Each structure stands twice: as C-alpha cells, then as structure tokens.
Amino acid sequence: MNNNLSSKNRLVARPGASIAILLGIFFFFMCIFSLLSSIIAPHIQNPTTSIRLLTLFQGIFLFIVPALATALLSTKLPATLLAIDQKPRLLPSLTIILTIVIAIPAMNYIIEWNNNIQFPESMNDLYRAIREMEDTAAQATNLMMGSDSIGSLIVSLLIVAVMAGLSEELFFRGALQRILTSTRINRQAAVCIAAFIFSFMHFQFFGFIPRLLLGMFFGYILLWSNNLWYCIIAHATNNALAVTAMWLDKRSLLPINIDSIGQSGNTDLPQISIIITSIILTTLSIIILKKQLHKTE
C-alpha cells in the first residue's frame, strides 16, 4: 500500500497537524516527567527501584500516551494508523528473532567502531562531555539491571525488553513513521527520518550508528508488513538479548561475553570471518524476511 500517492490513500488527512500533536504531547509530558522525577526519586531509597519506576513511567507517558492520543485525534481508525490491527504470523516472527541473533557479531563490530570514534583535539571538551554523559547512562543501565537473581532478570526483561519494545515502537514507528508516510516524502525517507529521531532521542552519540541501523531495520519491517507487532517483537528481542547477556556476565555462566563477539580487532582473522559470516547470513535472512512479510500484506 502506497500512502503517498493521493490524499485518499493517506493514513491521516492532516499529517503536519498530527506530527505537531505527537511532538507537542511528548514535550508536555517530558516537562511533567522531569519535574515529578526530581520530586519523587529522592524519596525512593532503593536506587534500582527508583530507576526502574522512572523508566516504566517514561515509557508510558513519553511514548505510549502521545502515540495513542495522536492516533485517536488524527483518525477514526487509530489501530490501523498505529498498525496494531493485525496479528503477527509465526514464521516471520521466528525469522525476525533469528535475524537479530545472527546479526550480533556484525552489530558488535559496529558498536565497537562507533564507540571508538575520535574527535579532533580542538573538540576535546565536547568529547569529554559526551563521554561523561555516556558513562552516566551506562552506570544507570547497570544499576537498573539490579542483582544477578532470577527475579531481577525477569523484572529487567519486562521493563527493558517488553515495555521499551512496545512503547518506543508505538511512538517512533507506529505513530511517527506512519504519519510521515502520509506526507509527500518518500516512504524510504520516512523510515530513515524516524530511525534518525529514534537514535538521536536516546542521547548517546557513541551508540548512535548501531541504534540508527536498528531503527531502520524496524522501520523497514513495518514498511514491508504494515504490522507493528513485528517491530515490537524485533525490538523486544534485541533488548532481551542485551539484558540476558549482562545478566549471564554477572553470574559468569558463559566462557565469553556475548557482547564481545566481533570486537577483538581487525587483525584477528577468526573474528573477521565471524563478522563477514554474520553480515552475509543477516543479509540473506532480511531478504527472506522481506518475502515473508510481503506475503502477509
């Protein structure tokens, strides 16, 4: 379905107004959230509980509420706009999970490359400031993971994988990307714009490129299927793997950290082979996935 051909085929009649509503509600709740978090957080003694609750509220009020409110105000078919009116099929869902798994070495290599980007000496102050922000974010993430208990793992998966996958995909793909495809811009451009904003709003420069690529992958899944549930499955799977890898590393249950696969340097021939194999298999898997998703349209 091409939503750019005519106004009759558009998901919303006034996409510009819909984007303004989406971003307006987002920034309104961001201000409210910042104010409330500064008031509530100091009264919660357990820092892990504090971060988890704030992350949960952030997902609900910054992403879910704006997406749902915008859909309700923009169209008589809000579920269709958000692409949540169809059930996901089993085979494409499994292919998506497989794609995320086999892409791990290639993505780890990109993550390492992005993390090692150097700034010119004239920008050392900016570099240090960004690094401090990244370190603070990493510390917050580690704190949110909590202990190495099974219960802590389950809670982390529910918040970081399920909640984040649902809330962020509703906002960035279900609302933002779908509204952008109702404008006159190219649908591929809509995917890239939504992915760029998705990565930018995480405010992590040294993870910007891999997150951008993930956002584009999620975006093309939606473009091929018109079904947001596949994007949610992909996003939740990616986050669940990261959470599980951190938990397993805490308990020293694996001989090698999953996040280190593909990150041992360019001169390591076995690692280069793993990376190249990962790229080839991921490409083939995406091609297969595209065909599967087109069949479900």
Kindly report the backbone phi and psi dihedral angles of residue 207, in degrees, each rounded to the nearest multiple of 5, phi listed first. -135, 15
pLDDT in tens, 192-243: 999 999 999 988 888 899 999 999 999 999 999 999 999 999 999 999 999 9
CB within 8 A of 159, min separation 6: which ones? Answer: 52, 55, 56, 59, 144
Q: Could you tell me the two tokens for 155?
A: 């809670």
The structure tokens listed for 207 are: 């993870």
Residue 266 pLDDT greater than 60, yes or no = no
Q: Which long-range contacts link 194-202 to residues 24+ away (Cβ below 8 Å)? A: 194/219, 195/219, 197/172, 198/168, 198/172
3-class SS at 263?
A: coil
Using only C-alpha atoms, what is the Rg of the chain?
A: 20
Q: Are 250 and 244 in contact (CB under 8 A)?
A: no
In this prediction, residue 3 has a pLDDT band, given cuts at 50, 70 and 90, of: very low
- 1: confidence class by pLDDT, cuts 50, 70, 90: very low
User: What is the domain partition of the chain in residue ranges?
Assistant: 7-295
Angle at 261 between CA 236 and CA 162, to 5 degrees: 10
The span from the CA of 290 to the CA of 297, in Å, is 11
Residue with tokens 């809670």: 155
Cα–Cα distance, 42 to 266 (Å, whole number): 46
Residues 51 and 41: their CA atoms lie apart, in Å, by 8
Q: Name the pTM for this structure.
A: 0.91
pLDDT band at 267 (very low <50, low <70, confident <90, very high): very low
Highest mean pLDDT among 32-41, 109-118, 133-142, 263-272: 109-118
Q: Mean pLDDT of all residues in the chain?
A: 89
pLDDT, one tens digit per residue, over 19-72 is 999 999 999 999 998 888 888 777 788 888 888 988 999 999 999 999 999 999
Residue 196: C-alpha distances to residues 9, 173, 193 (Å): 25, 12, 5
Query: With bands split at pLDDT 50, 70 and 90, how would you rate the model's confidence at 265?
Result: low
How far the first Cα of the chain sits from its last, in Å, is 9
Q: Is the dihedral of CA 64, 70, 73, 76 positive or negative?
A: negative
Helix, strand, or coil here: 240? helix
- Give the burial string for 167-177 (b: 16+ CB within 10 Å, else e): bbbbbbbbbbb
Structure tokens at 170: 């509703």
What are the helix (H) ranges across the chain?
15-40, 47-58, 65-74, 78-81, 90-102, 104-115, 124-145, 150-156, 164-169, 178-180, 187-200, 208-225, 228-251, 269-295
